[in-house]
Every structure is written in C-alpha cells, then in structure tokens.
Amino acid sequence: MRRKGFHWAWVVLAVCFVDLFINYSIRLGFGVVLPEMLRSLDLNRTQGGIIYNFYLAAYVCLTPFTGNLTDRLGARRVITLFGIALGVGTLLMGTVERFWAASIFFALVGAGASAMWTPVITVVQRWFDRKRRGMALGILSTGFGLGFATTGWLFPVLVSSFSWRFCWYVLGAGALIMVVVNGIFLRSKPEDLQMSPWGNEGDDLSGGPDREGSDKGGRYGEIFRSSRFWTIGVSYFFISCALYTITTFMVDYANVELGLGFKQASLLATVHGMSQVVGVLTIPILSDRIGRRLTLTGSNVLIALGIVGVVVSATTNVHSGVPVLFASIALIGVFYGITWPVYGACGGDYFRKEVMGTVIGAWTPFYGLGAILAHFISGRIRDITQSFQPAFYLAVLLALIAAFLMQRVKKPSELT
C-alpha cells in the first residue's frame, strides 16, 4: 500500500492548516473587531460577552457529535458540510443590526467551527504514523497562532479603510472558498488513495493500542468505560481552567494591579502568541519520541512554574518585576500552544483509530467547562479580594493536579 515520492498526507496537512487559520481568525478576531461592533450597534460589554457565549454554547454542544460523525462519515464530508455553516454564519455577522441577530448568527458560526478542530486533528492523525503525529500536529497548530496574529494586524486596516463589517465578509468568503478546497483535496484516510500513513514502516495501521474490532462508528459505551478516557479528560479540564485563568486576565492584571501602561500590558498578548508558535513547532515533535504522557506531565508542571512567576513579578520592584512577568508569560505561551494538540494526540495513541474522532470530540466538554469556570471563578475572586493573585495561586494548584493525573496514565505499550 505504500507509495514512493510525494505523499498526499502533506496536501491534507496544508488544507487543514488553512482551515484552522481561517477558523481561528474568525474565533479570535471577534475580540479584535468587538469594540467597533459595540460602538456601531450601541451594545454594552455584557451583550458582547453574551454574543460570544452563544458561539461557545453551540461549539461545545456540537463538538462531541462532529467527532462521532467523523468516525462514521469521514472527515472530508463533515468538514466540508460544517464549513458551509461557518462561512454563511460569518458573512451574516457582517449584516447584523441587532443584538439577538448577532447572537444567533455567531451561534451558527460556532456550530460550523465545531468541525474545525476535532475532525481536523483526527484526519491529520490518520494520515501520519503515530511516530510522526506530534510533528504534524505541531505544524498544524501554528495555524491558530498565526490566525490571531494576522487579525491583529489586518482588522485595523480593514476597519479604517472600510468598516468592521468588511472584516466578517473577508473571513466568510475565505471560509466558503475552503468548502470547495476541502471537497476537492481532502481525503478522510490514507486507504481512500490506497496509501499508508506517512512515516509508516509497515506497522499495523490502527491508530492506538486497541486493535480489535471492526466497527467504523464511534462507540460511546466503549469509550466511557475506559478509565484512561476519564483520567486524561479530567486532566484536560484542570489545565484548561488554569490556562484560561492566566490568558484571559493577564493584560488586566498587568495594567490594574502592576501599574503597567495599557500599551505595555497589551504587549503580553504578543509575547504569548509568538511563544505559542515556538512551542508548537518544537515540543510536539519531542512528544513523538518521549510520549504524550511525559510531555504533558512536564508541560503542566512548567505551566504551573510560569504562573508562579507571574505572581512573583508583583512582589519585586518594577525594574526586575517586568522582565520576570514577560518571561513567565513567554513560558506559559510556549506550553499553552502545545496543550491542545498534544492532548488531542492522546486520542490516537490510547484508542483505536475507528473511535479516535469520537474520543477527541468527547474530551471537548472538559476543555469548554474548564474555560467557562476559569472566567467565572477568577472574575469572582477578583471582585471579592480586589486581586487576581488568589486566582493565580489556584491556577498553579490546578496545573499541578493536571500533571499528576497525566502521570497516572499508562503508556500505550503497557495497555492490553
């Protein structure tokens, strides 16, 4: 089944990279264009947050089903179909005049986006051998960092030259173009082209340790009975909560509590984003050699260390505290970027390929609940104590719990 020369896995990776780039430009670009939307539509910030919550609700609710559909129907059909919703919803965001219209249309965007992570990383894992998945997912994951960076540069230009509505039109058109590209070039698995995964040296082509069974659909009963599913999922929840506690509030913390100017405090986001790119281009490749368990255990510990550095920066004088703060955010950014794809790669390492998409999709609510609780708990702590530091100490504890749980997961070679 193996072919010499050029491998279609690289076409799949390139197409999925662009899918991720556009999807995260839409998702993260919302925050960039939001101030202009609020002024134009005469909305308050609470309403702006509700609009985004509609997106998250649709995304979190549908992702487990898109993962299951990926196992049953194939990633090509799922990504192409949901890409239509993504593109149409994004175009409609450029037409809104009322709060509820924006909420409904952005929920449609969230529904489409539910197929732009789980099915995408599932199909990439199927096209690359287990020993090459970390490298492939690392390359793929630069898409969301670069997407965020691009919106930060492009949106102000579009707004000043046209309007905030034009930003949505550009992204919506890009998403619909990718519907066609996905339909033409994407293939759900190497067997569709009589090929083996790239990097395969004649091993069993199944994705994980459970090689028995021929059911091509995801079986939730099989997954939910697995203790490793719950252990990894709960670890995912804790690290999601820890990371969102920092990344959501770091600019506010630096500006209000540490007294940095808003421009300097905002530079933390740039440092965070660039560090993500560094991380995803290096550490997932290392995870191919040392394993996802050891990689995530070490990553979660270093995230905890980075959060400690953020807290320590407030206890030192301003001249030494600022470098500590920026270095700590850079450290967190490196491992923030690799957290999501490497947890996703566990789906391919610890479960058979027929249920890989279902597993990754079923882990998404752990991530979503962790992010939602991070915002609620941290904001509440800040309101009560007038400081983010107690919330950051809690985030350190959560990251260490996440590391402990990953350390408890058996190696794939130890599973029967």
268-286 mean pLDDT: 83
Where do you find CATH 1.20.1250.20 in the chain? 9-191, 220-411
What the block records as the tokens of 240 is: 């999601």
Classify 386 as helix, strand or coil: coil
Higher pLDDT, 298 or 224: 298
* DSSP string covering 174-203: HHHHHHHHHHHH--SSGGGGT-PPBT--S-
pTM for the predicted model, two decimal places = 0.71
pLDDT at residue number 208: 47
Q: CA–CA separation, 128 vs 3, rounded Å?
A: 14
Residue 319 has pLDDT above 70, yes or no: no
Classify 128 as helix, strand or coil: strand
Among 1.20.59.10, 1.20.1250.20, 1.20.1270.10, 1.10.3720.10, what is the CATH number of 220-411?
1.20.1250.20
What mean pLDDT is reported for the chain? 81
As its CATH architecture, domain 9-191 has Up-down Bundle (1.20)
116-138 mean pLDDT: 79
- What is the DSSP code (8-state) at residue 257? I
Residue 4 has pLDDT above 60, yes or no: no
CA distances in angstroms from 286 to 128, 186, 197, 338, listed in the order given:
15, 27, 19, 11
Q: CA–CA separation, 197 vs 126, rounded Å?
A: 7
Please name every residue paired with 324 in a beta bridge, in sequence order, or none if there are none.
Answer: none
